[in-house]
Amino acid sequence: MAKTREKEHLPPRLEAVMIRLCRGADLNKTQAVKLPYLVDVIATHVLGTPITEGFHQAWDHGVVTSQAWRHLDRCEQTSSPFRVEPVPFSEEQRIRLAEGELDRELTPAQQAIVDFVVQEFAAIPAGELGLMTKLMNPSIATWGINHRADTGEDAYERMSAEYQEMARRASSLTLDSLRRSSIAITSIEDVIA
């Protein structure tokens, strides 16, 4: 029974982070389960440790905080602070806070990190967030088998717009496109000179 109850509830800091994320932006379910990863990457860089106590895993469409996904799938049957609402004429689902839900305790530094993530990343569509998190984890060769995602300095550096642009361009290159845009070498002397 204890294991079932543990699965119904989020770790306290993950719940606090998700409440603050939802209070700061109108999120769909996919955004709500991807943004805690970005919070932890930034927190690890700034504070030296993650905030959420979450497991960030490599799912098919990017990094997902697995406890958040499971919780939002079952939140209607629990005493969750979250409600999942369907969007008319769409497969999308919006996350709402239950009436009168209060913020959970985070330090001012943790709050600032969550607020920064809302400001910088909450407006990014879920599919683009998925690609972004994949580009932050180039060592994961096969997505969808729940490898743990990187929250360290390398992941933080790969969040930059410059890295993201370079990685998107590099991933779109094919051998054929390289052949079409290259110049044929007719003499090795010409190349060396």
Pairing of strands 82-86, 93-97: antiparallel
Dihedral of the alpha carbons of 24, 30, 36, 41, in degrees to the nearest 10? -120
Distance CA 50, CA 16 (A): 13
Residue 8: what pLDDT?
58
Residue 2: what pLDDT?
43
For 160, the token pair is: 């930059």
Distance CA 121, CA 133 (A): 12
Residue 105: what pLDDT?
87
Distance CA 129, CA 126 (A): 5
Q: Locate the domains of the chain by residue range.
A: 2-192
Task: List, run by run, the mean pLDDT of 10-residue segments along the chain (193 residues).
Answer: 53 94 92 97 97 95 94 81 83 82 84 96 94 95 92 96 91 72 71 66
Residue 158: what pLDDT?
95
Distance CA 177, CA 106 (A): 50
Residue 170: what pLDDT?
86
